[in-house]
Structures are given as structure tokens and as C-alpha cells.
Chain A
Amino acid sequence: DAGVTQSPTHLIKTRGQQVTLRCSPKSGHDTVSWYQQALGQGPQFIFQYYEEEERQRGNFPDRFSGHQFPNYSSELNVNALLLGDSALYLCASSSQDQPQHFGDGTRLSIL
């Protein structure tokens, strides 16, 4: 039973570019949440998707957007990249009130 899978594992971009990160949830999970983890910090909640809709959002600008597909997989898009967007981006999946399971993340570096 595959857990949460994320792609790519690493990515290097330059300022002003756009990036798309992908996440496949654990089998049986229907909710996907995205977190940003800056170096040396705890993860910060970006947003959550359920039934292909953004259900709630953390304190992130509109440059951060997402999507959930009918198979529950999800994408995180970031436009107009800034140096401060360099971080580990974590995807977590869950179902109803079950604990969230995390993927290994995508390490995004902005030059």
C-alpha cells in the first residue's frame, strides 16, 4: 500500500518563474493538505483540498494556488517565485478525522 507520494523530489527555479508540485494521496484518503517548511522551522499550513474544492487556506498570498483532481491527487502552483519561497513543500493526506500522513516533500530552491 503506497503512502503519500510527491514529485519531483528536488527542483531549482529562478526568481519570477512559476512552479507546479504534485501529490498522490495514500490509498483511501480523500483530503489533501499542503504545508511549507522553511529551513529550521516547523511546517506552515498553506491550504487544504476536499472534493476538488479548496476547503480552507492559511496565511499565504494568492501566488499560491492549487487543484485537486477526481482521483484525489493534487497540485500546488506557485507563481512569480521569490527567494523566500525556497523551502520543503510537504503534502499530507487524510480521511475524515484520521491523522494526516505526510509525503517526503519537494525541496524547492530559488536562485
Chain B
Amino acid sequence: GNSVTQMEGPVTLSEEAFLTINCTYTATGYPSLFWYVQYPGEGLQLLLKATKADDKGSNKGFEATYRKETTSFHLEKGSVQVSDSAVYFCALLDPYGNNRLAFGKGNQVVVIP
């Protein structure tokens, strides 16, 4: 079945540091890939997406590139701010049109001033 794997554990870093969160997936076919962000006490917000190989999604300084050869969709940001502290989820959309999302376990990101 379809699945998403995110790197283990929370990520703690200083303001203006570089952020990388790893995401790999398993799927038949070519799914669409997403990053969602969840702030405390809130639901999920779509951060960025990519629908085919080599696509780069970007938003608010975050970027992720759809790598078919490594089945990865790693999230990066060059200079994080305290306001980026949140939980980040990688997700894929079933490639056969069922419009159901499969999520990774999420990564807590804490940015220290």
C-alpha cells in the first residue's frame, strides 16, 4: 500500500539556521506529494505541493522537490524564524484518483531565538 516515512524525532534549531526534514514514500504509480504544517491547537494547512517528477513546490521560503529516482520529497528552508515552529507532515495522494491522503508521522520543529 501507499506509505510515507519521515525522519525520526523532533528538530530543534536556532533562528536563521537551515532546515531540512526528510520524507520518502512508497506508492504504486506516481502520486502527488504534499507538505502540511500544523500549528498548536490548529488543523493542518497546506504548505506546498508537487504533482509530478522533478516538480519543485515552494511557499513562504520553504521548498521541496519531487525526486522519483529516490522516492523522496525533502522539505528545506534556508533561514528559519521562531514563527516556523510547528509540526510538519509529509503526505501523498493516492495516484489512482481516490483523493485520500496518506501521512507521515510528522516532525516537531522548534526554532529557538
Please give the residue numbers on chain A whose beta carbons come within 8 Å of chain B beta carbons, in ascending order: 4, 6, 31, 33, 35, 40-45, 48, 55-56, 58, 90, 92, 94, 97, 99-105
Contact = CB atoms under 8 A, between A and B. Distances in A.
A97 B103 contact: no
A33 B101 CA distance: 9
Contacts of A48: 98-100
Interface string B8-45: 00000000000000000000000000101000011111
Q: How large, as a class, is the contact surface on chain B?
A: 20 to 34
Contacts of B4: 42
A69 to B, nearest CB: 19
Contacts of B34: 99
A76 B7 CA distance: 32
A48 B97 CA distance: 13
23 contacts: A33-B99, A33-B100, A35-B101, A40-B106, A41-B105, A42-B105, A42-B106, A43-B89, A44-B103, A45-B101, A55-B98, A56-B100, A58-B100, A90-B44, A92-B44, A92-B101, A94-B99, A102-B36, A102-B43, A102-B44, A102-B45, A103-B43, A104-B43
